[in-house]
Structures are given as C-alpha cells and as structure tokens.
Amino acid sequence: MKAAAFAYLKPASLPEAFAALVNPHAKVLAGGQSLIPALNMRLSSPELLVDITGLPDLAGISLQAHSIKIGALTTHAQIEACELVRKHVPLLAQAVRHVAHAAIRNRGTIGGSLALADPAAEYPACAVALDSVLVIRNKATERRVKAERFFKGLFETDLKQGELLVAVEFPLAKAGDKSVFLELTRRHGDYAIVGLAAHNERMVFLGLDSKPVLLQKKTLRQTKDQLPRNPPADLYHSSATKRHLAGVLLERAWNTP
Ligand SMILES: Cc1cc2nc3c(=O)[nH]c(=O)nc-3n(C[C@H](O)[C@H](O)[C@H](O)COP(=O)(O)OP(=O)(O)OC[C@H]3O[C@@H](n4cnc5c(N)ncnc54)[C@H](O)[C@@H]3O)c2cc1C
C-alpha cells in the first residue's frame, strides 16, 4: 500500500517550521521510522509533512550544569555512541541498545520516539524513571514539562497543535545511583513485551499499560503488589503472562548489584 498524497516542506528555520505547523492538517516528520509506515498503511493521512531534519537547533547532545540535554533530532545511534550519555545517563545508555535494529537506530530520533509515545517504547519509561524534563516550543513561547505529566495515554502526549518537542533534559547521575534497564522481547530489536526502567526508588514499566507505569520502590513484595492487576494483553501474551513477566523483571532488577 502507498501513502495518500501529501504536500512536503523542509523548513530551514524554526520560525518557518512554526508557520507551517499552524495548518491543523500538518504533521511533523523527523526520522520517519514510525510515521512513514503509518502513512503507507493509511493510518494517518496529513495534508502536509513538515520535515524538521534541516533544523540544527534541534540537534546535538550537551552537558549542562545539572543535566544532559539531548536535542529532539538526535538519533538513537548518536545516543548509543555518546560518551556523555554513558557517563551521566547510564539508564539511557543501557536502554538505547534495545531500541529496534541498527538501520532504524540510524534514522529514528529521540524526539520522534517521545512524541509518538508508544507504550512499548524504551525512552518514555526512561524519561519518567529519571524525572526528566521535556522542552516544548511553539511560535511564541517555550514551556517545560516533567516526563510524568507529558505522557497522557496510548500514543497521547501533552503536545498541542503547532508545538514541537525541541529537547529533553536528563538529570546527571550521582555517585551511588542505581540504574537498571531490562526488557523481554520475542526477538532482539522487537518492541518489548514488557520492560523495566529502574532508577533508585523509581521503577517504571513499559508495555504494561497505555503509558509508562511508575511504581515507588518499597519491599519487593509491596512493590510487586503495586503492579497493575489486569495489564492489557497483546496478540501473543495474556494479561496474566504480562503481569507475571513484569514481576520477573522486577526481581531481576532487585537482584542486580
Ligand atoms: C521495525 C521497527 C522496529 C522498531 N522497534 C522499536 C523499539 O523496539 N523501540 C522503540 O522505542 N521504537 C522502535 N521503533 C520506532 C523507532 O524507534 C522510531 O524511530 C521512533 O519511534 C520515532 O522516531 P522518528 O524520528 O522516526 O519519528 P517519526 O516517525 O518521524 O515521527 C513519529 C511521530 O512523532 C512526531 N514527531 C517527531 N518528531 C517530533 C518533534 N520533535 N516534535 C513533535 N512531534 C514530533 C511525528 O509527527 C509522528 O507523529 C521501531 C520502528 C520500526 C520500523
């Protein structure tokens, strides 16, 4: 199947991008790794694609006073190769290796993944576990939203029409922090059946509900008891299986030194 016809614009500046995004039928195109398949399957048929890959303001990884700031256009492969991320955001460094396959990691972006908010994706759970801040702009203003408030539901975020996610800020890891990322998949590189991004007391599951599920660490038994009773089943795994697998990951993370 082929995509329905659409107009295409590749703005050279943020003001040009925001001017185009005034159109309620426009859609942002970043790495295209999720959007292009959706267009081809006609799950989405925008009038206009606004290709943001020519905007240098949205690229790059930098060390700030209290955070690592990652521009929305930074690809999974760039995150995987980044020494700053390995040193200061070890949870993300562990998680990125589970995102899809090398070819997709070369094109897909962190902004695209967070904006899409797939419940089985790795970055949204990491962003919540790390208490990260998403930086969002429209043509007039910039606002900052905690990850926990950004993810609203199934493929639903706090982004409003005309806005762009421009960056995400991950707090710097401190000495003694414990970060563990684990997931279970049918084949390496597939979306997770269920996964866990754990940072100190914050245990965040992916694939267990329509958005990341944050549990506060108590005793192992009490933490396990907080798992959702009836997580949504998928094509291959029942609700009970998913809950069981989440418990297995929780124990593994617990026992990771
Ligand atoms: C076979 C396959 C396997 C995959 N496996 C995984 C996996 O295991 N884990 C995982 O997390 N992902 C997986 N993905 C998805 C991949 O990580 C995508 O790269 C990512 O979800 C979207 O990033 P993108 O840059 O390609 O965004 P696009 O596809 O270009 O856009 C995705 C959505 O985000 C919006 N958007 C993009 N950038 C912005 C922005 N800056 N501001 C506002 N809105 C924006 C777009 O309008 C669109 O709605 C897989 C994809 C494929 C094809």
Nearest CA to ligand 1 atom 38: 112
Alpha-helical (H) ranges within 76-162 are: 76-80, 83-88, 90-96, 102-107, 110-116, 122-129, 147-150
Q: Quick check: is 1 in a domain?
A: no
Cβ 125 vs Cβ 214: under 8 Å: no
Instruction: List the domain range (segments joined by +) for residue 48.
Output: 7-54
pLDDT in tens, the chain (257 residues): 789 999 999 999 999 999 999 999 999 999 999 999 999 999 999 999 999 999 999 999 999 999 999 999 999 999 999 999 999 999 999 999 999 999 999 999 999 999 999 999 999 999 999 999 999 999 999 999 999 999 999 999 999 999 999 999 999 999 999 999 999 999 888 899 999 999 999 999 999 999 999 998 999 999 999 999 999 999 999 999 999 999 999 999 999 99
What are the angstrom distances between the C-alpha of 254 and each of 58, 84, 170, 173, 251?
A: 37, 26, 23, 19, 5
Distance (angstroms) between ligand 1 centre and the Cα of 71 equals: 15
Q: Quick check: is 225 in a domain?
A: yes
Give ligand 1 pocket residues (Cβ under 6 A).
Answer: 27-35, 37, 72, 99-100, 104, 108-109, 111-113, 115-116, 121-122, 159, 164-165, 191
Which among 165, 215, 160 is positioned nearest to 58, based on CA atoms?
165
Distance (angstroms) between ligand 1 centre and the Cα of 217 equals: 30
Q: Quick check: is 103 in a domain?
A: yes
95 and 126 co-located in one domain: yes
Distance (angstroms) between ligand 1 centre and the Cα of 121 equals: 9
Distance (angstroms) between ligand 1 centre and the Cα of 31 equals: 7
Nearest CA to ligand 1 atom 27: 112
Nearest CA to ligand 1 atom 36: 112
75 and 101 co-located in one domain: yes
Nearest CA to ligand 1 atom 49: 116
Nearest CA to ligand 1 atom 43: 164
50 and 60 co-located in one domain: no
49 and 61 co-located in one domain: no
What is the CATH classification number for the domain harbouring 220? 3.30.390.50
Distance between CA atoms of residues 251 and 249, nearest Å: 5
Nearest CA to ligand 1 atom 39: 112
Q: Quick check: is 2 in a domain?
A: no
